[in-house]
Amino acid sequence: MLIIFRNPSFVIMKRFVLFIMIVSLFQIQSSAQNCNWDDFAKDSLFQGNEPGKIGINSKDWLVVATQGRIHYYIDWIWDAFSDFNLPFDYAVCIDEKGDVYAGHYSFGFYHYDIAGSKKNVYNDTNSSLISNDIKMIKQDHLGNFWLSTWGDGVTYWDGDTFMNYTTSDGLCDNFIHDIEFIGENVVFASYNGPLSIYNGTSFTTIPKESSANNLSDIALDKDDHIWAILSNIAAANYYIGKYDGSSWTTYLSPFSKSVTLTDLSFDENNHLWISSVDGVAKFDGFNYRYYDQFDGLMDNTVFHLKISSKNEAWFSTLLGLSRLSGDARIAGQVLSSGLPASMAFVKLYKLNENNVKKLQMVDSVATDVNGFYEFKMVEMGKYMIYAGGEANYAGTYLGNIENWINSSVVDVAFCDSSYDNNSIDLLEFFPIDEGNGYISGKFVSADGTRAGSGPIKDVDVTLKKVPGGVVKVAKTNEFGIFEFDKIDTGAFSIIIDIPGLAQDTIRTVIITDTDTLFNHQDYEVDSTGIHTADYSSIKNNKEVWSSLNVYPNPVTSVIHAFVHIPPALDFDVELINSNGEVILYEKYKSRGENQISLNVQDKPRGVYVLKITSGMFHAIGKIILL
């Protein structure tokens, strides 16, 4: 981890140089910079006096604690109501309905029913609330509330009943500063250093980091590691700690060690944000980036921060509330054999690491006459880029590969305005001699996540020679079928690309002068990926057979099968056991409507596959032999 110290004299010089650059290069900065700062002060619609703690829900509705007044921000509109019993920096929370919850060190726990214009007050007199001294309010994933107190433990509230927990129940400390959630487990951070994890039944204590006297705010990264602000007040030393499930690791503060750290949070890119009384720092895993008044922050004294689901950063400062948002531009050029691809299209996919379907297409654009493309107003996140549409070239991802899994990722962060030079050189077809090889298969949705449990159309299938490059590309038709014909001898891999789903097995077929036909290279698709399969009664995109009828089934001696095949065509009949061995083979010439009888009386009992093949026509039936 790279740690950058913030020396005060260096900061002054840096700000002076930055000021000169802003004055002299104002036009350049204004056109390139996509940081958007919105400041809300007490002379605006916000009218907040000394904003403190911030609450936010999944709809990005916001509530802010201010002196004597609660401000909330719903659907881009500020509103407020007065409650002059509330001091500075009391606890606040907002639920999915927009109801507001507040608590502070004297008056207990308030529920503000916004729609009903009603306030419900709970205290240690009219309820079983453990204490009127409320430090923090957090709502868990099930909609229940957890309230921490300053010396009296914690309280759970499901909307009707209060349940209290203290050190006598296993809680690590009665002075709880912050609360987070790992799944259904609750993490309590104590001011004196230890952590408690409550699983609904019992508490597990995580001992404090050895050099820390105190712990304040905590945050969870994408791996559910616990990050904390640690301090040794006597030594005037602040630093960062990470608990990975087994041990603590400590990191120096991004500011001078004596600068008070006030809050921390993670954004969608798993970047760590740290607020202080000297501005804000963002750590991307390699470097720190600082934000202060010279960037647009309302004041360098920042009390709290929150990151919304839209990846907007909210900061409560001494002078008011600041919001930082940003968008980016992703651009590049598509080439074909090193020349501009003017007839191509480019798709932008967002990577969602926590979702089953990992990629979601957010935009598609055409290249210009010079092969250039551009995506504007791109939100923060990780993106993959796909280009295609040029004749005689295969669809290609950034990194010049044919499959999304190993493609290059564009990591769009806050205010990093432009990601240029994302060039893609389309994969060219590798020329081969014309032959008699034929490969076909079918795609079917296995769990209804795509195409209603039926055939899947427009799947990209690439055929690559091994060794060598791309020789052919195809898409599945309305029956879910893909075909490659006129293939020369050699070894070939079948590459499947459905953005966001992984192919668990790459099939390889070897075409020789005598072994030229490879049907049933079939696949099933579900939410976990693309899997090899074998499907019966395949409907061809050129001609459709009637259904294969087999009777009796189960059978004891003779199988009778009826199948329609265009007249005069040769067709093969195979009986295959559960080990994949052909135990019976016969060849026929079609008369149109064909009746076939097979004596299986001497075959072992078990499950068999009856396979009928004629060129590009196929039919399969399952047989049970008793």
Q: List domains and CATH numbers for the chain.
A: 38-122 (2.40.10), 328-428 (2.60.40.1120), 437-533 (2.60.40.10), 549-625 (2.60.40.3080)
At 309, the pLDDT band (50, 70, 90 cuts) reads confident
Residue 215 has pLDDT above 70, yes or no: yes
In single-letter form, the type of residue at position 291 comes to Y
Q: Per-residue pLDDT for 623 more than 50?
A: yes
Residue with tokens 């296995």: 446
pLDDT at 454 over 70: yes
pLDDT at 413: 75
Give the residue, 531 or 615, on which the prediction is more confident. 531
In this predicted structure, the answer to whether residue 388 has a pLDDT above a threshold of 80 is yes
User: Could you read off the pLDDT of 265-298 as tens digits, one per residue?
Assistant: 998 888 999 999 999 999 988 889 899 998 889 9
Give the mean model confidence (pLDDT) for residues 184-212.
95
Residue 542: what pLDDT? Answer: 37
Question: Average of pLDDT values for 112-117?
Answer: 86
* pLDDT given for residue 49 in this prediction: 67
pLDDT at 508 over 60: yes
pTM greater than the 0.95 cutoff:
no
Per cent of the chain over pLDDT 70 is 88
Sequence-separated (6 or more) residues with CB below 8 Å from residue 360: 349, 350, 352, 500
Residue 474 confidence (pLDDT) above 80: yes
Give the DSSP H or E segment for 424: strand 424-428
Nearest to 438 by CA among 320, 313, 595, 613: 613
Most confident of 5-14, 77-86, 289-298: 289-298
Q: Where are the beta strands (DSSP E) in 31-75?
A: 35-40, 54-56, 62-66, 69-74
Question: Of 133-142, 208-217, 538-547, where does mean pLDDT reach its minimum?
Answer: 538-547
pLDDT value for 614: 77
What is the predicted pLDDT for the residue at 447?
A: 65
The SS3 of residue 282 is strand
The per-residue pLDDT for 174 is 96
**How do residues 562-602 score in pLDDT, each as one tens digit?**
887 777 778 888 888 877 788 888 888 888 778 888 888 88
Among 70-74, 260-264, 554-558, the range of highest mean pLDDT: 260-264
As a dihedral over the C-alpha atoms of residue 351, residue 353, residue 355, residue 356, rounded to 10 degrees, the angle is 90
Tell me which of 38-42, 176-180, 459-463 is least confident: 38-42
The segment with the largest mean pLDDT, out of 29-33, 69-73, 168-172, 349-353, is: 168-172
Q: Taking 60 as the threshold, does the pLDDT of residue 6 lie above it? A: no
